[in-house]
């Protein structure tokens, strides 16, 4: 249980923000290493190891991939703005506001399973 009495809309927005960021991160893992088409490369052998870093050619993002990534960014910006400008924060000051923001970021971590 949090020491702060967060409004439900603020809790919901933080949970949605966490979810969208996780979805974006998972999607980004599937993307080519470069947004633009670029040739691959192979680096020299690393000192004290046999490792030779290399990248395959990147085809770049498709228009659909770029659009989906832009949609994630827009939604993250929208949710972040909502969370950061929520009127709840004006009810706190100084260290309490910092502690509350940290608690909100982790509010879903400590929540028990829903029945």
Helices (H), 1-115: 8-29, 63-84, 94-105, 107-110
Q: What is the pTM of this model?
A: 0.83
d(CA 72, CA 75): 5
| Residue 114 pLDDT greater than 60, yes or no | no
Residue 48 is predicted with a pLDDT of 83
> pLDDT, tens digit, for every residue of 19-61?
999 999 999 999 999 999 999 989 888 778 888 889 999 999 9
Question: pLDDT category, 111, cuts 50, 70, 90?
Answer: low
Contacts of 24 (CB under 8 A, 6+ apart): 69, 72, 73, 76
């Amino acid at each position: 249980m949090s020491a702060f009495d967060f409004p439900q809309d603020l809790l919901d927005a933080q949970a949605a923000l966490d979810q969208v960021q996780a979805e974006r991160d998972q999607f980004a893992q599937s993307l080519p290493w470069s947004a633009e088409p670029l040739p691959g490369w192979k680096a020299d052998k690393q000192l004290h190891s046999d490792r030779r870093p290399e990248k395959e050619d990147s085809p770049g993002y498709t228009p659909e991939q770029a659009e989906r990534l832009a949609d994630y960014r827009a939604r993250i910006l929208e949710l972040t703005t909502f969370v950061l400008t929520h009127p709840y924060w004006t009810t706190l000051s100084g260290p309490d506001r910092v502690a509350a923001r940290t608690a909100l970021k982790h509010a879903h971590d400590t929540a028990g399973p829903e029945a």
